[in-house]
Structure 1
Amino acid sequence: MERVIRLRLAVLFLEKFAEAAIFPFMALLFAERLGTGTAGLLIFAAFAGATVAGIWAGHLADTRGRRRVLVPAEAGRALAAAALALAVLPETRAADPVLAAWIAALPFLALAIAAGISTPTAEATVIDLATPERRRQIYGAVYWVTNVARASGTLAGAAAYGLWFGWLLAGIAGLAAAVTLALALALVETRPVERPAPFRPAEMLAGYAEVLRDRLFLRYAAGVALSLAVAAQLAHYVAVRLGSLPGTIKLIDWSGLHLALDGPGLFGLLRIENGLMVVALAPLVQILARNMSDTGRLTIGFALFAAGFWVLGWSTDAWLLIGFTALFTVGELLYAPPKLALMAALAPEAGRSRAAAVMNLGFRLALMTGAAGVAAVGHVPPQVMAALFLAGGLLAGWLLVDVARRVEGAAVPGRAARR
């Protein structure tokens, strides 16, 4: 069990590191060489391909076993990353930058599809092993690894973009190959299937229909998607609103010491604050909150989260923004592990990978609301957006607290909890 959990955390780190290091910067590369319209279409195609692949893989992992899906998916990730590296490396790419970008588009799409296949399968593997006693601990580790991987991946991508970007991709391909080898040698099947049935689209649709008939699971999925939609606005609405502020914002003006930041600089400071707090404080918060109930952590966490985003939606005061960024980060540290752990309690045993695929679809749709946030800058008053953030955060918390209460209060997990 411990070995499988460690392998899952390794896959998770690679997945989130690669996502942060590759996708934003490949979008920038496509925009520079092919134009923003074409780049947008390629990113959308990657999103659509990963989504469809995840839905298909979720069904296969539930009907054929996790190992049969996860190992080939990780091998595909390694091959796609290697092909993308070859297309991007200055030593091997085509002399024509436009042609080179089009050559890179195919392995880029393949990489997104491989990630889409891997994600719900790997998540279902953890759900298979996450006993009620260890869910908080396991999902606390999942949350921490996710944030460390995203932060380090973003830094690596930003530092390598340009001459060294291809070598970064080659390194990711090497890591993916090592993870694939480890999975092939050490991954124990957590859902054995003696006689895998042939793929039938009608069976797949029936399996997803069964997952979607669970009203409590749908309530959970809605709460998670809503919380992600609010959180996504940090990198979209808040970033653009602060980035478009004129002049500078005073940070320190005391005893001859003067420090002011422009809008983009202030937003960068808030992102650094958020990232450092998550990486440094996540283990400490889990220790301090270990005796709190899930409902208590969700209630307090979402209250802090909603209050923090309410201020980030309208304020231009540097210290107020810094203080409430810390507040929403602490809230996120409190609610994230129990929120993730609820998935293990709710996912039906015969459809765990399909449930994970549904959650990943909700995650991707929630992130798309970031575009609406960007479009709202300059057209919707900040106080209105702040009120929407507050309402969205509180509603997400209410939904998830209600789900947690039903799960905790069910004498027999399952049917009684889902009424």
Structure 2
Amino acid sequence: MRYRDFHRNVKLRIWLSFMNNMIRNMVLPFMAIYFADRLGASIAGVLIVSFIVIGLICSIIGGYLSDRIGRRQLMIQAEVAMLVGYIGMMMFNSPWFHSAWITFAMMLVVSAAGGIHTPASQAMLVDVTEPHTRKYMYQMLYWLRNIAGAIAAIIGAYLFKDYFFELLIGLCLATMISIIITVVFIQESYFPKKDQGNQKQSGFLHQMSQMGKSYAAVLKDTTFVIFIISSMLIGSVEFHLTNYVGVRLSQEITEASIFSWGSLNWTVDGIRMMGLLQSENTVLIGLFSILMGYILKKYNEKRIVFIGFTLYVLGYSYIAYSNSPWMLILAMLIATIGELFFVPVKQAYFSYITPDHARSSYMAVNEMSFQVAMFIAGAMVSLGSVLSSVMMASIICISGIVGIFLFALILPKLDDKRDAMIASSSQGISA
């Protein structure tokens, strides 16, 4: 499989995703700092949670609508709403106007629009790719997303405080470019049946009832539900790094030596240690994601994915316990290798269990699992104030092991769905 063999939609979405991720990550991850500076840390925490909640609710709505009106139209509408939100943020953080509360309102618009956009854009990628090509597509997206994140983290850290207005201008321009390309070049990938797309004949309450029935049908898919629970438990293992682990390191490491030679002495505190671990993870993924594609082709896919799960859980569990800088760096190396092994395969498996008629609804529930994993990681901060680091590391490890066990439990069914989808695809190509 080569990049040039992808459908035009995939090629465009890959590079639009890279551009948007890079520009947005220069701004959005730092908004907690923005609100804490202007409104106080306690209020900032409530605001950030509200963004997660509104994004989650709108993701559920977006998944339902995408399966009934198509992907492209919904993506365009969501991106226009994002542009309105970014323009509002830019206007009220300009040299002439300042308002943290209006910025909060605009961020709610952005979060809602992003929630609606995500299931449709993810479903479009699956719509136009064959099952055997999706793993390569996810590898490329994963690699570029991390490269964008690494570049954005460096630039954003230096520019956010003094050039926030200019960054927002760049965010508006990038969103406008994305809208233009989507309108002019992106093709619709899914055409719902007339009874699905006919929304005008039904009232609001009826549509809410239909949406409830749609998601009830999704949740009756036992294989999918177990897959989501597994993903949630395994995903929460990493989210602890910026929650419980970050708090613990900031409290327990006041000054630790990384490197010492003569008069040179490189020391870090807990917060810088956490930043170093995050940077290590991002850089390693950026450097070795493509190499993982060759490894997955050469070796048994199932064996690789379970080795990856194991390394990932053990690495992050040790990070939850240790205070030794070099051992933390080694543990992050192990965890990142594990992540590189299993992420593309797991994403491909997910695409095999999403039926055409409800793909966006499945994507929305999958997105919800990540939000729940973030809530779990946040709740562990409070638990960590009571329990020892050994007990916390044990809980994190056990949750990861349970997630691995659940994945193993449904793997035969996932293989059956993959084989059936590939066979159906091959018959379609032959016809």
| TM-score, scaled relative to structure 2 | 0.89
Query: Counterpart amino acid of 1:170?
Result: I
Find the aligned partners of 2:417 and 2:54 in 1 and give their Cα distance: 39
Find the aligned partners of 2:289 and 2:404 in 1 and give their Cα distance: 20
8 A Cα contact 1:285 1:334, kept in partner: yes
Shift of the alpha carbon at 1:267?
2.3
Report SS of the residue matched to 1:252. Answer: strand
Could you list the per-position Cα deviations for residues 226-262 of structure 1 after superposition, in whole angstroms to 9, with x for gaps in the alignment?
A: 1111110111122221121244223335677644332
Equivalent residue in structure 1 for 2:49, among 32, 44, 58: 44
Residue matched to 2:66? 61
Equivalent residue in structure 2 for 1:209, among 207, 216, 232: 216
Alignment of 1:195-206 (within 5 A): 195=194, 196-198=197-199, 200-206=207-213
Alignment of 1:71-150 (within 5 A): 71-89=76-94, 91-94=95-98, 100-150=99-149
**Structure 2 CA distance for partners of 1:15 and 1:360, relative to 1, 3 Å:** farther
8 A Cα contact 1:130 1:344, kept in partner: no
* Greater alpha carbon shift after TM alignment, 313-322 vs 18-27: 18-27
Gaps of 5+ in 2: 1-5, 422-431
**Structure 2 CA distance for partners of 1:250 and 1:398, relative to 1, 3 Å:** same
Alignment of 1:16-55 (within 5 A): 16-17=21-22, 19-55=24-60
Alignment of 1:273-284 (within 5 A): 273-284=280-291
Could you list the per-position Cα deviations for residues 88-130 of structure 1 after superposition, in whole angstroms to 9, with x for gaps in the alignment?
A: 12x2324xxxxx1112122111111111111011011112123
Aligned-residue identity in percent: 26
The answer to whether structure 1 residue 297 and structure 2 residue 304 are counterparts is yes
For the aligned residues, what is the CA RMSD? 2.1
Equivalent residue in structure 2 for 1:356, among 356, 363, 369: 363
The answer to whether structure 1 residue 157 and structure 2 residue 164 are counterparts is no
Shift of the alpha carbon at 1:301?
0.2
8 A Cα contact 1:65 1:189, kept in partner: yes
Query: Counterpart amino acid of 1:260?
Result: T
Report SS of the residue matched to 2:292. Answer: helix
Equivalent residue in structure 2 for 1:267, among 266, 274, 278: 274
The answer to whether structure 1 residue 233 and structure 2 residue 233 are counterparts is no
* Greater alpha carbon shift after TM alignment, 176-185 vs 136-145: 136-145
Shift of the alpha carbon at 1:174?
0.6
Find the aligned partners of 1:17 and 1:57 in 2 and give their Cα distance: 24
Could you list the per-position Cα deviations for residues 169-214 of structure 1 after superposition, in whole angstroms to 9, with x for gaps in the alignment?
A: 1101111110111011111111113642116222111111111100
Report SS of the residue matched to 1:192. Answer: coil
Find the aligned partners of 2:412 and 2:391 in 1 and give their Cα distance: 31
**Structure 2 CA distance for partners of 1:404 and 1:152, relative to 1, 3 Å:** farther
Query: Counterpart amino acid of 1:69?
Result: L
Residue matched to 1:181? 180
Find the aligned partners of 1:318 and 1:49 in 2 and give their Cα distance: 38
Find the aligned partners of 1:186 and 1:139 in 2 and give their Cα distance: 22
* Greater alpha carbon shift after TM alignment, 72-81 vs 218-227: 72-81
| TM-score, scaled relative to structure 1 | 0.91
Shift of the alpha carbon at 1:14?
4.7
Gaps of 5+ in 1: 95-99, 415-419
* Greater alpha carbon shift after TM alignment, 192-201 vs 349-358: 192-201
**Structure 2 CA distance for partners of 1:18 and 1:411, relative to 1, 3 Å:** closer
Report SS of the residue matched to 2:27. Answer: helix
Residue matched to 1:390? 397
8 A Cα contact 2:226 2:410, kept in partner: yes
* Greater alpha carbon shift after TM alignment, 312-321 vs 245-254: 245-254
